[in-house]
Amino acid sequence: FFTGSTAVGRHVAQAAAKNLTPVTLELGGKSPALVDRSCDLQLTASRLAFGKLFNAGQTCVAPDYLLVPRELVEPLSQQILTEMRRMYPRITGNADYTSIATPRHFVRLQGLVDDARARGARVLRSHDEHPDDRRLVPALLLDVPPEATVMQEEIFGPLLPIVGYDNVDEALAHINRGERPLALYWFGLDSAARDHVMAQTHAGGVTINDCLWHLGQEAQPFGGVGASGMGSYHGEWGFRTFSKEKPLFIQSRFAGTKLFQPPYGATFNRLLALLRRIT
């Protein structure tokens, strides 16, 4: 079992193949959140803010970017910022908001923001603070061009690009141009629109009208697909994945198996004809 990046997962799979060792890979990727026009704006913003800032965005199933109807980009962005400030009134010294894991990763995330800004993106920070303990102030990134690094790599931090779309097929094309994600999130109240998105996308798992929670369901398998992993675990699926069933058959002392032994003749042919009729 390995959990980590897709790049390292490929090396793990190659090493395991030399010994024919089965592997379960729980990898990452860019997990999209698709917002439908039928959504409850305040509820959507609240749950997106929670999902993105849980562990400061350092989870494999964090929403990596948002796809939002173009006319909702500004109102939803402002509502998300409001929810972030409600959950975390301050960033500096806030025990509820964790630091970025390593100095190197902190610098990388700052570099993603700088690169996006240099390419014309707008950066909306949730707080006007400058913590010195690797607590990175959450930021929304608007008008981000697709060639920006933040749109090419898994973010794994409290940065959230927001991409506007005019129709849902445009949003689906955006999702399907990338690798298959570990998670997909959809927000809305229109069940027909939801079913259309589910039929046109692939993902390791899906949560509707929230983030992260499919990961915590013991009655469902959890795992990736394609570049986001292979195999699944949790609950019964974990038991089956991490164990090997050994079938055992004990033959009775008195059995009809002798009828199948050679030499073959009329009796065997009658038995074979009977089996063909009943099967």
Return d(Cα 203, Cα 64) in angstroms, integer: 14
Which of 106, 196, 203, 114 has its CA nearest to residue 157?
106
Angle at Cα 181 formed by Cα 243 and Cα 75, nearest 5°? Answer: 135
Angle at Cα 252 formed by Cα 250 and Cα 258, nearest 5°? Answer: 115
- Catalytic annotation present for 211: no
- Catalytic annotation present for 26: yes
- How many CB atoms neighbour CB 105 within 10 A? 15
Question: Of residues 26, 83, 154, 179, which has the active-site annotation?
Answer: 26
Percent of the chain as helix, strand, coil, to the nearest 5: 40, 15, 45
Query: Are the C-beta atoms of 159 and 63 separated by less than 8 Å?
Result: no
Question: Of residues 39, 60, 83, 179, which has the active-site annotation?
Answer: 60
Helix 41-53 vs helix 73-87: angle between axes, to the nearest 10 degrees? 60
Q: Which residues are known to be catalytic?
A: 26, 60
